[in-house]
Amino acid sequence: MAQEQAAGNGMAPTPGKVWFITGASRGFGRIWTEAALQRGDQVAATARSLDSLTDLQATYGASVLPLAMDVTQPDQVAAAVAQAHAHFGRLDVVLNNAGYSLVGTIEEAPAADVRALYETNIFGTLAVLQAALPLLRAQGHGHIVGISSGLGLVSLPVIGYYCSSKWAFEAIHESLATEIKPFGLRVTIVEPGAYATEFGSDQSLRLAPGLDVYADFRAGFLERLKGGEGGDPRATPPALFAVVDAAEPPLRLFLGSQNLPWVRGVYAERLATWEQWAPVADAAQGATRASH
């Protein structure tokens, strides 16, 4: 729409897409920000500290708009989204990437740590969505891309609270996809497998206070995680671009080759259990009554 308006005003239309990306300072967010800029798109890149984004502006000039934004501060989020939209004239892709993991068993993690996790992973995401959606509706187009995880479908021990935040993230985006489709807006949930990013760094990981009773189990689990082979995060931009450029983008997309076999096996096991216990479940329905 913005391109059509520009052409109607005698201005040259802006090529490429306009992105709003959270967590653009490192990991996937940084890689995807640079890849979008390199292909000629424009990006409003957000991070808690502007210092982590200054080199982007030095390299890409007016194509990038660095914005300091803490997703846990709704006023900052609303201001950043509005500024990005006003600056570029539109937002084509809103990519929620900011998040971190909490390491600790269900018994170990203090409630305050779990709340803090949800403030970033869930309420921070909601702040971005709720700030962007009125603008996208007014445009009549836009693509919400939410970065989840294979752990949004299958939970693991020791990082159960992180998994739970991604399960909530998935449910929110699945509902959202149906709610905003009539407005011409799309939603895709991207579910990366294990990748060699900075996600395990101190900036992306919080450790709950440990209890001795879980020490050996926790250490063994974390050692197994470290031993897994991670994918190359720099191989992911073409998959992301294929989704945002698609006429009919999928609701869900795995990144990497590990998730599909894993999830296929887990879901087969779940279905087998449900089938095995179907007589018990069916009996719990009770006597059916005709509806009027």
In degrees and rounded to multiples of 5, residue 113 shows phi and psi of -70, -35
The domain spans of the chain are: 2-279
Known catalytic membership, residue 166: yes
Q: For 20-75, what is each residue's pLDDT tens digit?
A: 999 999 999 999 999 999 999 999 999 999 999 999 999 999 999 999 999 999 99
Residues in the chain: 292
- The active-site residue out of 162, 164, 165, 195 is 162
Q: For 108-138, what is each residue's pLDDT tens digit?
A: 999 999 999 999 999 999 999 999 999 999 9
- The active-site residue out of 148, 149, 164, 165 is 148
43 CB-near residues (< 8 Å, 6+ apart): 18, 19, 20, 21, 24, 33, 36, 37, 63, 64, 65
- The active-site residue out of 60, 118, 165, 166 is 166
What does pTM read for this prediction?
0.89
Known catalytic membership, residue 118: no
Q: What confidence score (pLDDT) does residue 2 get? A: 38
CA 261, distance to chain mean position in Å, is: 21
Q: Report whether pLDDT(217) > 60.
A: yes
Question: What is the homologous superfamily of the domain 2-279 according to CATH?
Answer: NAD(P)-binding Rossmann-like Domain (3.40.50.720)
> Which residue type does 95 have?
L
